[in-house]
Amino acid sequence: MKYTDSEDRRTPPNGGESIKSRLLRVIGSAVSGQVAALLDGLWASGRFVVQREPRCGLIMCTVRDPFDTPFHLGEVLVSQAEVRCDRQPGCGVVCGDAPEQALLLAAVEAAELLGCAEMLAPVADAVRRLEQTKADHAARLSRLAAATRVRFDSMKKERVDFDSLGESCE
Amino acid sequence: MGYVAVKGGAAAIENAEQFSMIRRAGGASELLKPDQIREQLHFAVDRVMSEGSLYAPELAALAFKQAAGDSLEAAFILRSYRTTLPRLGYGAPMNTDGMRPIRRISAAFKDIPGGQLLGPTPDYTLRLLDFDLKDESPDHTRRMMARLFKDTELVDPLPERFPKVVDMLRREGLLVPRPSAGGKDDRLVDITRQALTFPAPRSAQLQTLARGETGGMLALAYSNMRGYGSVHPVIGELRVGYLPLRYCNHVTGEVETIGDMLVTEAEVISRIGETDGPARFSLGYGLCFGHNETKAIAMAVLDRAVATGEPATPSEDQEFVLTHVDGIESMGFCNHYKLPHYVTFQSELDRLRNIQAGQAKGEEIRS
């Protein structure tokens, strides 16, 4: 697989970020039973067929060192599932041993590619709630980390031009 | 001397396994749950993931429980498990400047853009035994957390990204453009699929170190720091944070972020590198799964050490370092000596007796 620097988000015909992309970002915050309930809601339509049962597998994580040399850091456990909504395939891959999450992601992708916005309304609502929960949690942790920031006072200034980095974090 | 088949012992082996289980779980204390291990013994879990070369916190916690806290054994179990799973593919290569840091310090510069973040660390407090932990109560912990979150309510959250400190050195032309390890071989190899050959390409070197055993790497790096080598490291930047994992969806062809991983990254600046051009600093690089600063720093020191043109010490010899840092290999070889060596030892015994008999005969003839 050749990778490019493409953005990891799709823009559906109606504009904005896809539900699948948003769900991927927050699905780890879902509490037990939440994912199963959403799946039950989609399955009730009778339009979904599981093409590939969820399975665990490995993805090799590839990173670049400061000299831009790529190397393999190690493998990550992921779960993968494939689903069809009518004739439209969808694929879900998510970190961890999370079969239901993989199924839900695959189902959402298939339905979204088919343009079934109505069917996905409950998922979109759940995503909005999860986004809020995750944002609150992330902000709390971020503030906690920010509270450990230190500043040094010194009479002697370092001869370093950090402006050359081209960005300020203040 | 032929091979000697051995029969019997199956019942003894089963009983030994049960005995081992009873040692772990037969006491009066409550049995540990993997999620307790994952959350409360996170450094151990991170070490198991890093050395087992598999990012899977729940499985690493389970392996740690199964191994009764033996991190080498747990890493072995985890790495064995990964051989049972299919490789679905490779993640999109990424730079670590996309890391969302929770800790970030520099020992080279005090005033770095964004400031230094101490993050979750016991580094700056005394190593005194905390007897309060004996009767730690969940209520007390919850109250303390609530107070801490309340106290930090008015603190501005961190930016999502921070610039890299070493980028500044690079832009000023103070950094060597590239380490010379592996003869500047930039091939991307996967040591889980290809055997190491020497000189190893840089990608193989970094992958090997990234899954190396913390103690072994520390010992080699320490030998170099103490004088059996030439690296005097200064930490340009040490980061602990979350890296996104990006993977291509084969149905849509889109690259998606499917989760994130906690990693530790160390960039050590070393003495002036011997380059063909102007004098510059050299850089050693360390990156590993989980929060493991000792390993990341040791990795960075070793990365820099093996870039030395003429290795004069073990820690500067790429082959020596890369063939001795893998904990599963070294532990396996060390422990294999517990297996029966009856035939080889019998042979040694016979030779020794023959030699002694010959020596005794010689003594008789001389007297």
CB distance from A13 to chain B under 8 Å? no
- Identify which of B291, B322, B173, B188 has the alpha carbon closest to the alpha carbon of residue A65: B188
**CA closest to A167 among chain B residues:** B163
CB distance from B302 to chain A under 8 Å? no
Q: What is the pLDDT along chain B (367 residues), one digit of tens a residue?
A: 456 666 678 899 999 999 999 999 999 999 999 999 999 999 999 999 999 999 999 999 999 999 999 999 999 999 999 999 999 999 999 999 889 999 999 999 888 888 899 999 999 888 999 999 998 999 999 999 999 989 898 888 888 888 888 888 888 888 887 765 445 567 899 999 999 999 999 999 999 999 999 999 999 999 999 989 878 889 999 999 999 999 999 889 999 999 999 999 999 998 765 556 788 889 999 999 999 999 999 999 999 999 887 899 999 999 999 999 999 999 999 999 998 888 899 999 999 999 999 999 888 888 7
Q: What order of strands is seen across the sheet that includes strand B280-289?
A: A149-150, B116-117, B100-105, B234-248, B255-273, B280-289
Q: Which of residues 265-294 of B touch A (CB under 8 A)?
A: 267, 283, 285, 287-289
Q: Which two tokens stand for residue B87?
A: 């490789």
Q: Quick one: average pLDDT of A6-34?
A: 76
Residue A52, strand partner residues: A82
Please name the helix (run of DSSP H) or strand (run of DSSP E) that holds residue B94, with its range, or none. Answer: strand B94-95
Residue A160 has pLDDT above 60, yes or no: no
Residue with tokens 């590239």: B178
CA distance B320 to chain A (A): 20
User: Do the Cβ atoms of B245 and A28 come within 8 Å?
Assistant: no
CB distance from A66 to chain B under 8 Å? yes
Q: Which two tokens stand for residue A76?
A: 């990550």
Q: Collect all residues of chain A within an 8 Å Cβ-Cβ radius of residue B82.
A: 58, 75
Query: Which class for B249: exposed (0-12), middle (13-18), buried (19 or more C-beta within 10 A)?
Result: buried
Q: Say if residues B57 and B78 touch (Cβ distance below 8 Å).
A: no
- Identify which of B310, B299, B322, B284 has the alpha carbon closest to the alpha carbon of residue B222: B299
Residue A13 has pLDDT above 50, yes or no: no
Question: CB pairs below 8 Å between A and B: how many?
Answer: 264
User: Do the Cβ atoms of B188 and A58 come within 8 Å?
Assistant: no
CA distance B131 to chain A (A): 25
Q: Which residues does A55 contact at the CB level (< 8 Å), separation at least 6?
A: A79, A80, A81, A99, B86
User: Do the Cβ atoms of A56 and B55 come within 8 Å?
Assistant: no
pLDDT for res A9: 42
* Interatomic CA distance for residues A128 and A107, integer angstroms: 18
CB distance from B94 to chain A under 8 Å? yes
Q: Say if residues B242 and B262 touch (Cβ distance below 8 Å).
A: yes
User: Do the Cβ atoms of B202 and A161 come within 8 Å?
Assistant: no
Query: Which class for B29: exposed (0-12), middle (13-18), buried (19 or more C-beta within 10 A)?
Result: exposed
Q: Which residues does A41 contact at the CB level (< 8 Å), separation at least 6?
A: A122, A123
CA distance B112 to chain A (A): 7
pLDDT for res A5: 43
CB distance from A80 to chain B under 8 Å? yes
CB distance from B336 to chain A under 8 Å? no
Q: Quick one: average pLDDT of A92-96?
A: 97
Q: Collect all residues of chain B within an 8 Å Cβ-Cβ radius of residue A161.
A: 168, 172
Q: Collect all residues of chain A within an 8 Å Cβ-Cβ radius of residue B251.
A: 82, 89-91, 109
- Identify which of B297, B322, B313, B302 has the alpha carbon closest to the alpha carbon of residue B200: B322
User: Do the Cβ atoms of B119 and A148 come within 8 Å?
Assistant: yes
Three-class DSSP category at B205: helix
CA distance B40 to chain A (A): 17
Q: Which residues does B65 contact at the CB level (< 8 Å), separation at least 6?
A: B32, B34, B37
Residue A97 has pLDDT above 50, yes or no: yes
Among A32, A65, A109, A158, which would you mutate to test the B interface (most chain B Cβ atoms within 10 Å of its Cβ)?
A: A65
Measured at the alpha carbon of residue A70, what is the angle toward residues B230 and B89, in degrees to the nearest 5? Answer: 140
pLDDT for res B275: 56
Of the listed ranges A45-54, A129-138, B4-13, B55-64, the least confidently predicted one is B4-13
Q: Collect all residues of chain A within an 8 Å Cβ-Cβ radius of residue B203.
A: 69-72
User: Do the Cβ atoms of A162 and B168 come within 8 Å?
Assistant: yes
Q: Quick one: average pLDDT of A116-145?
A: 93
Among A20, A26, A63, A136, which would you mutate to test the B interface (most chain B Cβ atoms within 10 Å of its Cβ)?
A: A63
- Identify which of B238, B287, B103, B214 has the alpha carbon closest to the alpha carbon of residue A74: B287
- Identify which of B148, B102, B109, B160 has the alpha carbon closest to the alpha carbon of residue A151: B109
Q: Say if residues A114 and B75 touch (Cβ distance below 8 Å).
A: no
- Residue among A68, A72, A94 minimizing CB distance to B190: A72
Percent of chain A with pLDDT over 90: 72
- Residue among A8, A56, A161 minimizing CB distance to B256: A8
Residue type, B16: A
Residue A32 has pLDDT above 90, yes or no: no
